[in-house]
A and B are shown apart, each in its own frame.
Chain A
Amino acid sequence: MQNPNQKPGDTKKDIEIKDKGVSLENGMSDDKCCEKSIRPIR
């Protein structure tokens, strides 16, 4: 059924992974909040 190696877009599964997102293991993004959020600072 679900394969841990399933790639995004594999439609044969009953859970289709579209985006694996981000992982806590990578630490914080080095993007500043002003770059990522909708609030501009400049």
Chain B
Amino acid sequence: MLRKVHTPYPIKTVTKCEKFMELSHYLKVYPCKQDPAHVILFSTKQASKVRVHQDTLEALKKEISPDHEHVLAPLGMVTPGRDQEIREMTGFFETRIANNQALDFTIVLNLDCNFACTYCFEEDVKKKAYMSSETADKLILYIEGQLKASGKNLLVDFYGGEPLLSLGLMEDMARKLQAVTRNLGKTFSFRMITNGSLFTPKAAEKLVFLGLSGLKITLDGPPDNHNRFRPFKSGAGSFDILLENIKNTCDLTRIEIGGNYSESNYPRFVELLDLLAQSGLTPERVPGVKFDPIFKPASKTIAGRNPDLGCKSVNEPWILEAEKLLRGEILKRGYDTPKPTPLCCMIENPDSLVVNVDGKFYKCPCFIELEDYCVGSLDTGISDYRKQYGLDVWKNPDCLACEYLPLCFGGCRHSTYVDTGKINGLSCQKPYLDSALETLVIQDLSLRKP
């Protein structure tokens, strides 16, 4: 059968008499600086990387041999044609969702916190609200029903506020969920989004026994900087307590170190990396480190207090410089840090649900307590939220034509909300990825420890 194929590259249209493949549209080509005869191909669709000779690339643009297809197809680098690849991308989430192994519940145990971080995006929703044991039991029944209906395993993220202020309830829920999943022949594990101040060895031992698989603790650079940005409510610094807790618990469960930097303080986060190593927190004990820029908070309280705090978009040029420096220093020291990979926003994932302290449902923890983004409750069940959350906002010709689509899918909905007051819009990351992705890919090839 005769087929016309238009490659994503400016070469002539060819006609062939057999089924054949062409290079994926979602492919970036980056030079090998130390070996100019070769280039790196990076698939934004699968985050795969190959090194090829320039001549091989030119040949691949014209025709993909069966042998090359055999190598490149599993890496997502070739496609039967552009139309089919567009269909693949529009069904990207559905395909991945069908292969999901677990239901993922984010459970907000309270909206209280013992910290007073200067950039907290939850500032306007913080209050002395705690999930009751009645709501927790109702939630466990709901989760049991969902597990039976789906046949999937269970993953829980305990969230707050500060979830460890509800340690007793967390233990009780984990114990009950262990029993529920065991009876159904399914697996259960949980994580926490915690500030780490209450994560003592005693708490860690209990929680690991109940299924805790890991957590991330945030350290905002060296002690003086951290204590300025992440003090206790009393104003006292928290750095020393956190460092002690990490040292005392990191051999019990997987702890990752996070950190939130600003334009003025990001170079100082290198000091934190040195301090971690000096404290015995080597990559063998805390494998993952990731630093992120502080974003302009949605909170009017915080924004009013700190008008210059945080960036509005990933596209601000200084972020590239900060990422290049910090990511490079993290990798050089042997710590792991995320690679650029296809991102699946939890809003798009029907297996993912946030349950607030009062039993109301949301699709992202950034939207809790905002009535416009509530998608049901333990009493009413979940509603159709497709329009409410602007799903499919990226299914337009411009996004589908963008090579970065699999890394972005329209960007973070909360960023759009902070920027425009609405969720139904794009937070395009193209300028950032145009300037940053090559650096990130080359860093992963040259600095990442095997």
Contacts and interface: CB of A to CB of B under 8 A. Distances in A.
Given A22-B46, A39-B414, A30 B216 contact: no
Nearest to A1: B67
B343 to A, nearest CB: 6
A4 to B, nearest CB: 6
A22 B292 CA distance: 23
B330 to A, nearest CB: 14
Interface in B180-196: 193, 195
A36 B338 CA distance: 6
A2 B67 contact: yes
A25 B101 CA distance: 11
Contacts of A31: 338
Contacts of B193: 41-42
B299 interface: no
B292 A39 contact: yes
A6 B67 CA distance: 12
Contacts, number: 129
B101 A27 contact: yes
B102 interface: yes
A27 B47 CA distance: 15
B323 interface: yes
Contact of A24 (B52, B56, B96): B96
Contact of A15 (B72, B290, B346, B415): B72
Interface residues of A, number: 35
A30 B445 contact: no
Given A24-B96, A39-B412, A6 B71 contact: yes
A17 to B, nearest CB: 5
Range class of the B interface residue count: 35 or more
Contacts of B293: 38, 40
Interface string B284-312: 00000010111100000000000000000
Interface string A13-30: 111111111111111111
A39 B293 CA distance: 7
Interface in B94-131: 95-102, 104, 106, 121
Interface in B52-102: 52-53, 56, 67-68, 70-72, 74-76, 92-93, 95-102
A27 B50 contact: no
Nearest to B157: A32
B253 interface: no
A13 B98 CA distance: 35
Contact of B99 (A3, A26, A42): A26
Interface string B356-379: 000000000110000000000000
B40 interface: yes
B99 A33 contact: no
A40 B74 CA distance: 32
Contacts of A40: 258, 260, 292-295
Nearest to B341: A22
Question: What are the 10 A-B residue pairs with the smallest beta carbon separation, nearest first?
Answer: A21-B48, A27-B99, A40-B292, A27-B100, A21-B47, A21-B46, A2-B71, A18-B49, A19-B49, A16-B51
21 contacts: A3-B71, A14-B53, A17-B49, A19-B47, A19-B444, A21-B47, A21-B341, A22-B341, A24-B46, A25-B99, A28-B100, A28-B351, A29-B341, A32-B106, A33-B343, A33-B412, A35-B338, A38-B432, A39-B292, A39-B295, A39-B314
Given A14-B52, A15-B52, A40-B260, 14 more contacts: A2-B67, A2-B68, A2-B71, A4-B71, A17-B50, A18-B40, A18-B49, A21-B75, A23-B74, A28-B96, A28-B349, A36-B343, A39-B292, A41-B193
